[in-house]
Structure 1
Amino acid sequence: MTYVVTEACVRCKYTDCVAVCPVECFHEGPNFLVINPEGCIDCGVCVPECPVGAIYAEDELPAGQEAFIALNAELAAVWPPIAEAREPLADAERWAEVADKRAFLDTAGAAPPA
């Protein structure tokens, strides 16, 4: 099992989770973070740190968020790791309560779909 960053992170990119991760398994894209399932040790310390509640255990994902399992793995393979907390996106507070944000996910740097 691994932990998964879900849609709530899109356009927020708070990095409180990164600051507590003991194995540096987070990777950073333009407006989203992902967890590398190969590096995640399933400790769960990141879950309570996320101010928007975007991180779930793989087997506890909310309905409709299952696609983020593969998306985290795919993007972690191409996005650079992030090991230190940074400022959230400038308009993160405005986006924190917005639902259905997947269409706003910027996957720049990822390989185009096959």
Structure 2
Amino acid sequence: MAYVVTESCIKCKYTDCVDVCPVDCFREGPNFLVIDPDECIDCTLCVAECPVEAIYAEDDVPADQQHFIQINAELSQHRNWKPIVEKKDPLPDHDQWANVKGKTQYLDRNE
């Protein structure tokens, strides 16, 4: 079972989670992070680090966020989504987006 980044990360992209990942399983897109399910070792360290509570165990992903399991799997393999291993500043307008629901349409897949 892998961990999954869900909708709350979109347009925020806090990277606190990246700093604690022992296997560097995070991949970075323009306005979202994903976890490579083939690299994740289920250590749970990233969950507590996310200030917007965007990371869930695959079995615990809320019903309305289930599509993010597939999104993480797909985008973690996308050629433009590179590994991220060091913390960066969140997106400039992260505060405005942190509590917004229904952000899936804003996910920039960079395809």
TM-score of the two chains, using structure 2 as the length reference = 0.97
Aligned with residue 93 of structure 1, among 92, 95, 103: 95
Unaligned runs of 5+ in 2: none
* Structure 2 counterparts to residues 9-88 of structure 1, below 5 A: 9-78=9-78, 79-88=81-90
Query: For 1:74 and 1:84, how far apart are their aligned partners in 2?
Result: 22
Cα distance in structure 1, aligned partners of 2:86 and 2:63: 31
Q: Give the match for residue 106 of structure 2.
A: 104
Work out the percentage of aligned pairs sharing the same amino acid.
Answer: 61
Task: Find the aligned partners of 1:32 and 1:15 in 2 and give their Cα distance.
Answer: 10
SS of residue in 1 equivalent to 2:34: strand
**Structure 1: 5+ residue runs without aligned partners?**
110-114
Q: Name whichever structure is richer in helix by fraction.
A: 2
Q: What is the total number of aligned residue pairs between the two structures?
A: 109
2:4 corresponds in structure 1 to 4
Moved over 3 A (4+): none
Report how far residue 63 of structure 1 moved: 1.6
